Amino acid sequence: TFKPLVFSGVQPTGNLHLGNYLGAIRKFVALQEDNDCIYCVVDLHAITAQLVHDDLKGQIRSIAAAFIASGIDPVKHIVFNQSAVPQHAELAWIFNCVARIGWMNRMTQFKDKAGKDRENASLGLLAYPSLMAADILVYRATHVPVGDDQKQHLELARDIAQRFNIDFGPKIRETGTGVDMIVGEEPIHGYFPLVEPLIGGPAPRVMSLKDGTKKMSKSDPSDLSRINLMDDADTILKKIRKAKTDPDALPSEVDGLEGRPEAGNLVGIYAALSDRTKADVLAEFGGQQFSVFKPALADLAVEVLAPITTEMRRLMDDTTHIDAILKDGGERARARAEKTMNEVSDIIGF
């Protein structure tokens, strides 16, 4: 069977927000304790929606700084940027030939990001999930902590792995590169693991502060819709005060959040930030007005985020240090990825 290995990535596209932190980075930190982890700044993904960026290098450094400021250890684990390891793109090409166009056409993120003018979206945007599968599988990683918005992409990574394992079954045996694994109940001999998504907690998808039906996102044009990791305490308080809610008091039971997406979102954020369940938070705040709950939430958000913000700023002032971390991580990642690509070449017959 496969040795457990955690992989995940964040795009260097604009401000990191509370959704990225709660949905991804905080989980990255927690997983380090018991696992071998690889955390990647996915710069090749950043050019799929928009090719030209003002300061891509600065953005890459700022994600690396956020990882480290949040508590990721780049010595025990690996922190690097994707383009430093060309094997990601190489395996993605193979996966483009494994995946079917029909699979890609069903991806809801592609539909959202491409918008109405789909004919004008880049081919890279369509192939994005195939590169994401390569990011993970070039290390034969088994576990992927992400937000709930990435669930469909991880299912696709499983489909690609499974198709590869089946299509090349005899070659995998012949080359002696495969591993025995159990898929469902079935014993299988394959080269790539079927990755397990690690999604969950009280806020698996953090929603916009302006619209409880849309996810909090870097690409939302309204800055009031999100809390950025670099926001100061006053800004956080102002944004939470202005967050959309409804006129009713908070319910005392989770059922009472039904049909109240904005209230549910704020309670979920409070629960995630305090490591409690929503039920527990409502046991404390049920019956209270938002005029009471919002300042409490803002205080909590500041308490959790302020140390990270301070450390991020300090790290970003020392670009030589960040660049050295990325270079070292890139070299260690590349050594692992090269091994995989040598084996994949043998399996395919290059």
Minimum CB separation from ligand ADP for residue 37, in Å?
A: 14
| 147 marked as part of a ligand binding site | yes
Question: Catalytic site residue 151?
Answer: no
- Scan for tokens 């696992």, then name that residue: 35
Question: Catalytic site residue 238?
Answer: no
| 149 marked as part of a ligand binding site | yes
The one among 6, 7, 23, 64 contacting ligand ADP by CB under 6 A: 23
Tokens of 128: 């994005």
- Among 225, 239, 276, 235, residue whose Cα is nearest residue 254: 276
Q: Rule CB under 6 A: say whether 165 interacts with ligand ADP.
A: no
Is 219 within 8 Å of 250 (Cβ atoms)? Answer: no
102/221 with CB nearer ligand ADP: 221
N residues, the chain: 350
- Residues 192-231, one symbol each (x = binds ligand ADP by CB under 6 A, - = not), give -------------xx--------xxxx-------------
11/245 with CB nearer ligand ADP: 11
Distance CA(103)–CA(60), nearest Å, equals 30
Catalytic residue among 151, 218, 244, 294: 218
Size of the site for ligand ADP (CB under 6 A): 17
Q: Rule CB under 6 A: say whether 6 interacts with ligand ADP.
A: no
Distance CA(343)–CA(339), nearest Å, equals 6
199/344 with CB nearer ligand ADP: 199
Q: Rule CB under 6 A: say whether 38 interacts with ligand ADP.
A: no
Residue nearest to ligand ADP (CB): 23
24/237 with CB nearer ligand ADP: 24
Strands 143-145 vs 179-183: parallel, antiparallel or unpaired: unpaired
Question: Catalytic site residue 242?
Answer: no
Contacts of ligand ADP in 128-157 (CB under 6 A)? 146-147, 149-150
- Scan for tokens 């025990």, then name that residue: 76
For 284-316, give one letter per residue: b (16+ CB within 10 A) or e: ebeeeebeebbebbbebbbebbeebbebbeebb
Strands 143-145 vs 196-198: parallel, antiparallel or unpaired: parallel
Distance CA(212)–CA(18), nearest Å, equals 15
**Which residues of this protein are in contact with ligand ADP, per CB under 6 A?**
10-11, 13, 19-20, 23-24, 146-147, 149-150, 205-206, 215-218
